Amino acid sequence: DAGVIQSPRHEVTEMGQEVTLRCKPISGHDYLFWYRQTMMRGLELLIYFNNNVPIDDSGMPEDRFSAKMPNASFSTLKIQPSEPRDSAVYFCASSFRPLNTEAFFGQGTRLTVV
């Protein structure tokens, strides 16, 4: 398996534009997590899914953020409209429930909103 795959790796957009980040978890993993990383706040959990169902979205900053998981192999995190304070690295991670073992991270998407 190629691991968790995120796209794009880098995204630069203007304030007010819609941004969509994508994630493909490891095949067979039933948990998918979205994290945002900044120097000030570290690794913040935004939302996570189990078997494609959102379990806890209490970390989503505001209504401008939304996430979906239409099937077991794909998830999106959307920001609309984007703001400069959304600039961060966004990580997706997946894990396999029955073993309750490590979460594997994707390489992240570095988002810059200007």
Nearer to another protein, 62 or 102 (CB): 102
97 is a site residue for another protein (CB under 8 A): yes
Taking the C-alpha atoms of residue 79 and residue 64, their distance in angstroms, rounded to an integer, is: 5
Cα within 13 Å of Cα(106), Cβ side: 29
Which residue's structure tokens are 């945002």? Answer: 36
Whether the Cβ atoms of residue 33 and residue 92 lie closer than 8 Å to each other: yes
- From 45, 54, 64, 73, residue interacting with another protein (rule: CB under 8 A): 45
Minimum CB distance to another protein, residue 2 (Å)? 13
Which residues are near another protein by CB under 8 A?
Answer: 31, 33, 35, 41-43, 45, 48, 50, 55-56, 58, 91, 93, 95, 97-98, 100-103, 105-108
